[in-house]
């Protein structure tokens, strides 16, 4: 019993860390320089072989600013506040697949498993050409299914990750 509680505790905290790292590596910093906004990209060193999901080149400055705020809130452990910033960004760019992906990660972190899987699937429908995004969305789906006890569904989702990760 205590091992199960411990592994659940570790898994949830691992997803908090992954979510924060995702926002850290994916967000551009928007700073005010006089009356204009300057967007500087964050070039993090990747800690594993997977590419990071980054905002699209067409993402507006307003959405990049909201992503930056979401990142800061997540780093401070304010996940509800981070959620609020992501929701505002989605109202501005509702067809931005990367935003749905970030929201899916947040929902997974909040143990809202069905929503996490649904949002990841929505992200996949909005951008079917980005293999990195698709694979990461399938990872979210696999974790959500695993956590909800659907081991066969988790395996199928992981098989999709493996298929998309092939060169």
pLDDT tens digit sequence for 107-147: 999 899 999 999 999 999 999 999 999 999 999 999 999 99
Q: What domains are defined for the chain?
A: 2-165 (1.25.40.10)
Q: What's the whole-number mean pLDDT along residues 81-92?
A: 97
Instruction: Please check the confidence at residue 162 and state whether its pLDDT lies above 90.
Output: yes
Q: What pLDDT is attached to residue 8?
A: 54
Closest CA to 99 of 31, 144, 53, 138: 53
User: Range with the lowest mean pLDDT among 35-39, 84-88, 98-102, 144-148?
Assistant: 35-39
Contact 65, 31 (CB under 8 A): no
Q: What pLDDT is attached to residue 167?
A: 82
Instruction: Please check the confidence at residue 34 and state whether its pLDDT lies above 90.
Output: no
Q: What's the whole-number mean pLDDT along residues 63-73?
A: 95
Q: What percentage of the chain reaches a pLDDT higher than 70?
A: 70
pLDDT grade for 99, boundaries at 50, 70 and 90:
very high
Count CA atoms within 13 Å of residue 102 on its CB side: 36
**Which sign does the torsion angle of CA 163, 165, 166, 167 carry?**
positive
Closest CA to 68 of 29, 18, 20: 29
Residue 64 CB neighbours (<10 A): 20
Distances (CA, A) of 124 to 16, 32, 47, 48, 54: 22, 33, 24, 22, 14
pLDDT grade for 56, boundaries at 50, 70 and 90:
confident
Q: What's the whole-number mean pLDDT along residues 12-28?
A: 49
Count CA atoms within 13 Å of residue 72 on its CB side: 10
* Residue 96 vs residue 36, higher pLDDT: 96
Phi, psi (deg, nearest 5) at residue 16: -60, -45
What's the pTM value of the predicted model, to 2 decimals? 0.73
Quick one: which H or E segment has residue 160?
A: helix 151-165
Instruction: Please check the confidence at residue 44 and state whether its pLDDT lies above 70.
Output: no
Token couple for 72: 């800061």
């Amino acid at each position: 019993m205590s091992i199960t509680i411990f592994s659940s505790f570790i898994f949830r905290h691992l997803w908090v860390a992954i979510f924060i790292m995702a926002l850290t590596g994916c967000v551009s910093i928007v700073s005010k320089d006089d009356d204009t906004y300057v967007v500087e990209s964050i070039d993090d060193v990747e800690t594993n072989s997977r590419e990071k999901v980054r905002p699209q080149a067409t993402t507006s400055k307003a959405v990049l600013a909201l992503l930056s705020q979401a990142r800061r809130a997540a780093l401070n452990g304010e996940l509800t506040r981070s959620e609020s910033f992501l929701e505002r960004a989605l109202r501005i760019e509702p067809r931005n697949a990367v935003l749905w992906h970030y929201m899916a990660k947040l929902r997974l972190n909040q143990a809202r498993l069905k929503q996490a899987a649904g949002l990841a699937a929505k992200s996949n429908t909005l951008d079917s050409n980005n293999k990195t995004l698709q694979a990461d969305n399938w990872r979210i789906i696999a974790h959500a299914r695993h956590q909800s006890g659907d081991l066969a569904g988790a395996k199928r989702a992981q098989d999709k990750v493996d298929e998309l990760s092939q060169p």
